[in-house]
Amino acid sequence: MTAIDLRDRVVLVTGGSSGIGAAAVRSLHAAGASVFFTFLNHESRAAALARELGDRVDYRRYDLADHDSLPALVAECVKRFGRIDVLVNNAAIFSENAFTGRDYTKWREGWQHTFDVNIFGAAHLAWLVMHQMRAQGGGGKIINVASRAGHRGELTFADYGASKAALLNLTKSIARSCAPEGIVAVSVAPGFIETEMAAPDLASRRREIENEIPLGYVGSAEDVAHVITFLASPLATYANGATIDVNGGSYVR
């Protein structure tokens, strides 16, 4: 068996202070990578995670909806670690925004802000990171954390599902366009995972959710993080353009 070895690799992870992002930071770091991660609202958690891991890790506050700030994010990562080999686009937002709502302004604002973070922030950052990869001599990986929602459509948060569907298509476009430069793009599409984002649904209808999962339980953030770490490694390079579903079999394409 070949071990995953990310020594001498620099990974930029967005939304790395909690949930899947924090688990990915830990997993990538354990595999030897230097990790630069962003946070938005949980500075104390970000600081605690950095203290826990010690060397080869750093973090900064960035709002992925502030697109003008993204060049500075790339520059800070490069200043700290010298390069970027892998980008993990993990930061995302989610809120209920049902078709049955009666507030048109709220409906529009929900779509705009969700897309500003989940797809426009991810796309703009990927574009900037790919320019940095080219400046380094070419080659690298873009890993987009999408969702089962991007495949199946959702009842009360169509804006979130549509943003994740767009992220899946962005992955395919990067994979086809940039592979000749050695830049590979892949997606991970989790189902329900034990995170703060999923906590309200899990609190109100856990049994119903678990009954939809053939494995019978809700996955952990580490379940997704381990897949991300594998995809970041040279072992997964030929999976260019693929989407790996991590949902316990709850949605099989």
Report, as residue numbers or ranges, the catalytic residues: 160
Amino acid residing at 160? Y
> What is the DSSP track for 63-120?
-TT-GGGHHHHHHHHHHHHS---EEEE---------TT---HHHHHHHHHHHHIIIII
Residue 84 in tokens: 């970027």
| Residues 6+ positions from 139 with CB-CB distance below 8 Å | 85, 133, 181, 182, 183
Closest CA to 109 of 97, 99, 91: 97
Question: How many CB atoms within 10 Å of residue 179?
Answer: 14
Three-class SS state of 247? coil
